[in-house]
Amino acid sequence: MSEMLRLVEPLIPALRRYARVLMRDVTTADDLVQDCLERAITRWHQRRADGDARTWLFTILHNLAMNRMRQTARRGRHVAIDDAGDAVLARPALQEDGLLRRDLLAALAALSEEQRSVLLLVSVEGLSYLEAAAVLGVPMGTVTSRLARAREKMFRLMEGTTDRNATTCSHLRRVK
């Protein structure tokens, strides 16, 4: 039990961060992390002794999140009537940082789930390409290509360009 606590406890903030970005809701993300930790504790004996606990936990969290998203897509999102009050209708201040944050979140939301997951695991959580591939259950080449496409799309969206050729071919000149 002490080995499990030693390995799992330092990973909780990273798991919460990843869950919050995936679920886009603090409460749902915290519930997801709790479910992940519960599953990890009850199935600790099934973990490979030579395996990385970080990769194993992120895999559990990712799979639980994907299942929840599929379930939400089938059922629709539940909003309690009490939650539809002033807080939902309020708008954030229009300072530059707020606008940049909004644009960044919108650009992240515009990515496919596969691209967003790879980008967050590698760029935010600091997982290696190999670890991200293990978490997502895909080959490392797939992680590399998804990450390249995600970064390119994020750049285009943050710059406000929608034409792919506007960013990739603007440096080319005709030489006769």
State the CATH architecture for 93-176.
Answer: Orthogonal Bundle (1.10)
CA distances from 105 to 44, 87, 95 (A): 35, 19, 16
Taking the C-alpha atoms of residue 163 and residue 52, their distance in angstroms, rounded to an integer, is 41
Q: What is the pLDDT of residues 123-136, one digit of tens each?
A: 989 999 999 999 99
Are 16 and 30 in contact by the 8 Å Cβ rule? The answer is: yes
Has domain 1-90 been given CATH number 1.10.1740?
Answer: yes
* Residue ranges for the chain with pLDDT beneath 70: 1, 76-94, 161-176
Sign of the Cα torsion 111, 25, 21, 74 reads negative
Are 120 and 61 in contact by the 8 Å Cβ rule? The answer is: no
CA distances from 73 to 59, 68, 117 (A): 21, 8, 18
Q: Which residue is listed with tokens 């080449």?
A: 141
Calculate the average pLDDT of the chain.
82
- Every domain of the chain and the residues it spans: 1-90, 93-176
Residue 93 token pair: 């201040």
| pLDDT for position 169 | 47
| pLDDT for position 45 | 82
Are 4 and 44 in contact by the 8 Å Cβ rule? The answer is: yes
